[in-house]
């Protein structure tokens, strides 16, 4: 399965600033996703990062707030813009390869996450 490196692992930011989170995969993958996990909550999909085109955002998430880049098949970034305390969350990068395992499972592999605290 793919190995994902995500950084920063954690950061404390001031209100109104922006932070870019990087996701590096050790192999080429078709599907890359960005999730948010607010304190005590489950995972919410922010967007699908598409290589060579604009990301596909889920309801409630917009490009101006969460711009995403996907320059190639192994790398993506998520920027959290103009941060407020409500943006304090864990942000997770994930990849999916249908049939990528010997069992043919559609397995999501996650990075360790970036824990963001906004003061």
Contacts to another protein by CB under 8 A: 1, 4, 6, 31, 33, 41-45, 48, 56, 58, 92, 94, 96, 98-99, 103-113, 115
User: Based on CB atoms, which residue is closest to another protein, 14 or 103?
Assistant: 103
Per the CB < 8 A criterion, the answer to whether 55 and 49 are in contact is yes
Comparison of 80 and 92: residue with beta carbon closer to another protein: 92
Quick one: 14 or 59, whose CB is closer to another protein? 59
- Closest to another protein by CB, 17 vs 38, is 38
The least CB distance from residue 18 to another protein, in Å, is: 23
Residue 92: CB minimum distance to another protein, A: 5
Per DSSP, 58 falls in state P
- 60: exposed, middle or buried (C-beta count within 10 Å: 0-12, 13-18, 19+)? exposed
- Contact criterion met (CB below 8 Å) for 34 and 91: yes
Q: Give least dist CB 90 to another protein, A.
A: 8
Nearest approach in angstroms of CB 33 to another protein is 6
**CB neighbours of 96 closer than 8 A, spacing ≥ 6?**
29, 30, 31, 33, 106, 107, 108, 109
């Amino acid at each position: 399965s793919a190995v994902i490196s995500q950084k920063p692992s954690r950061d404390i930011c001031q209100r109104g600033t922006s932070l870019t989170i990087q996701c590096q995969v050790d192999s080429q993958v078709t599907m890359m996703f960005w999730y948010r996990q607010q304190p005590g909550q489950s995972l919410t999909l922010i967007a699908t990062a598409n290589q060579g085109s604009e990301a596909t955002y889920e309801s409630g998430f917009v490009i101006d707030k969460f711009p995403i880049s996907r320059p190639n098949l192994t790398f993506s970034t998520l920027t959290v813009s103009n941060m407020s305390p409500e943006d304090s969350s864990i942000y997770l990068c994930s990849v999916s390869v249908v049939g990528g395992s010997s069992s043919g499972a559609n397995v999501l592999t996650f990075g360790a996450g970036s824990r963001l605290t906004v003061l």
